[in-house]
Amino acid sequence: MKFYVLFGPPGAGKGTQAGAMVERYNLCHLSTGELLRSEISAGSPLGLQAKALIEAGNLVPDEVVEGMIESKFKSVKEVKGFLLDGFPRTIAQAEALDAMLAKGGEAVTACISLMIPDQLIHERIAHRANIEGRADDARPEVVENRVKTYHDKTEPLIEFYKKAGRYHEIDGVGTIEEVRDRIFTEMDKF
């Protein structure tokens, strides 16, 4: 079983590229954003808690996200692996993921990192807010908090995965097809 971490700042194109990655490599896409949005639209207690945190630009507690991910690892079987999108976002989550996978004798195969400059992050998120009607993307102060949170808490994962020999950076600037070709060239190595 292969376990890929899809990494990058908000607006880097992770959601845009994930579908093609899933199809080409027969992976189960685990997007924490989609899992949480599903809970929010269901109006579950977890969803209501997550909604308030997300709207303020904050992260959902680790144990909630980790439980959702582990449950999917156990229940989805007819794939060659998993594409984790939006998890891990912190060193603590990466360590928890390593421990979770180690229980089954598995490990992260690779961290595929889509990188774009901060200015492009803001442009893409504003565009996404208009196209998808996502309220969490519409307020500049929320977007700025998400970018700051990414730099402060998520960016340290670059060194974490570099030290593990699993970090693979992809230039996320260009057309969808250009970025996709770069991703496939890298993933074909595994």
Q: Is 128 a catalytic residue?
A: yes
Peptide bond into 88 cis (omega under 30): yes
From CA 39, how far away is CA 129, in angstroms rounded?
A: 20
**134 has catalytic annotation:** yes
Which helix or strand (DSSP H or E) is residue 160 part of?
helix 157-163
Catalytic residue among 2, 51, 128, 180: 128
Spot the catalytic one: 14, 124, 180, 182.
14
Residue 182 known to be catalytic = no
Give the active site residue among 2, 51, 124, 146: 146
24 is catalytic: no
Question: Which token pair is 133?
Answer: 């009607």
CB of 130 closer than 8 Å to CB of 24? no
**Beta-carbon count within 10 A of 12 CB:** 23
Point out the catalytic residue in the list 89, 124, 180, 182: 89
14 a catalytic residue? yes
Write down the catalytic residue from 134, 139, 153, 162. Answer: 134
- Phi first, then psi: what are they for 47, rounded to 5°? -60, -40
Residues with catalytic function = 14, 89, 128, 134, 146
